[in-house]
Structure formats: structure tokens, C-alpha cells
């Protein structure tokens, strides 16, 4: 299983950063411009059981993604698992930890596996890593601007 992690210091408390993620429009704000992703439905909140359905394009192929929240600690972390979509496995944990200076560390930790086992990893691993890096660079910058401003 592959792991991707993005960690950034945000000059805002964990509570402020968590509250940003709870906003009804947070997912739309965090989606990079030009990304071919459409939010089909999203349950309110981040609590366990909340479900999000997205539609995206991977090259010319339309793909539906369904994620369900599987962990929730108010003000500190939440996690979602992809139950249907382009990855064979996807567990995404969002954590906000105090930095000791009034701000926090925002960490997105993703454990994932591409379809087709080793063949998928060899053929698409570079694409997945590049896409995740670009997406989470954008998400962390949007979060920083929203929470520090």
C-alpha cells in the first residue's frame, strides 16, 4: 500500500481549521480550479457515516467516487474511506494538532492502493503521486488563506 502525506503549519488554532473543514462549502472551496470533479451529493457534517458522492474524469473516463466518513474527533481529526471509485483502497485521515505557538499542524495522510496490483502501481503510481501532490498543495493553501485571514 502506498502512502501520501501533506503537512503544513497554519497560523490558526486546530478548532478554527477544523471548523473550516466543517463548512458546507469546504469541499467545493478545496477542489482545485480546472479539476474535472463535480460534487453529486454530500451529507452535512464530518461525523461517522457522512457520505460524499463525486464524479470526476481521469483522462477521457468518467469515474464516480463514493467516500464515507469512518472516524471523527471534533476539533482534532476526521477520516474518510473510499468505498467506490478508482482506487482499490483509500483511507484519508485529516488531522489538526496544536503547534505549541497558537497555530496548528494540518496533516492529510492517505493510504491508498491503485487497481491492478503491482501493474497499476508501476503504470499509474507516478500519475497518482503527482495528482495528489498538486491537489493537496492547493487544499493546504486554500485552508491557510481561509483560516489565517
pLDDT reported for residue 116: 54
Q: Please tell me the pTM assigned to this model.
A: 0.91
Q: What is the per-residue pLDDT across 10-38, written as a single tens digit (0 to 9) for each?
A: 999 999 999 999 999 999 999 988 888 89
Q: What pLDDT digit, counting tens, does each position of 32-85 carry? A: 888 888 999 999 999 999 999 999 887 788 999 999 999 999 999 999 999 998
CB within 8 Å of 45: residues ≥ 6 apart: 22
Q: pLDDT-derived band of residue 2, with 50, 70 and 90 as boundaries?
A: confident
Q: What is the pLDDT of residue 36?
A: 82
| pLDDT at residue 120 in the model | 47
Res 76: pLDDT: 97
Distance from C-alpha of 71 to C-alpha of 21, rounded to nearest angstrom: 14
Please answer whether residues 34 and 136 qualify as being in contact, where contact means their C-beta atoms are separated by less than 8 angstroms: no
What would the pLDDT profile of 93-142 be if each residue is shown by its tens digit? 999 999 999 999 999 999 988 765 544 444 455 566 888 899 999 999 99
Q: Hey, what's the cell of 119?
A: 501493474
pLDDT at residue 119, rounded to an integer: 45
What ranges in the chain are assigned the alpha helix state H? 14-22, 26-30, 117-148
Locate 67 and state its grid cell. 467516500
Amino acid at each position: 500500500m502506498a502512502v501520501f502525506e501533506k503537512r503544513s503549519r497554519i497560523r490558526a488554532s486546530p478548532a478554527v481549521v477544523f471548523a473550516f473543514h466543517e463548512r458546507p462549502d469546504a469541499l467545493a472551496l478545496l477542489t482545485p480550479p480546472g479539476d474535472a470533479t463535480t460534487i453529486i451529493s454530500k451529507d452535512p457534517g464530518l461525523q461517522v457515516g457522512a457520505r460524499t458522492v463525486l464524479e470526476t474524469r481521469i483522462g477521457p473516463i468518467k469515474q464516480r467516487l463514493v467516500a464515507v466518513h469512518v472516524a471523527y474527533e471534533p476539533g482534532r481529526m476526521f477520516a474518510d474511506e473510499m468505498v467506490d471509485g478508482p482506487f482499490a483502497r483509500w483511507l484519508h485521515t485529516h488531522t489538526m494538532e496544536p503547534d505549541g505557538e497558537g497555530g496548528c499542524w494540518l496533516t492529510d495522510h492517505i493510504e491508498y492502493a491503485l487497481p491492478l496490483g503491482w501493474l497499476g502501481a508501476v503504470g499509474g503510481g507516478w500519475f497518482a503521486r503527482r495528482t495528489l501532490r498538486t491537489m493537496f498543495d492547493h487544499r493546504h493553501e486554500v485552508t491557510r488563506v481561509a483560516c489565517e485571514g
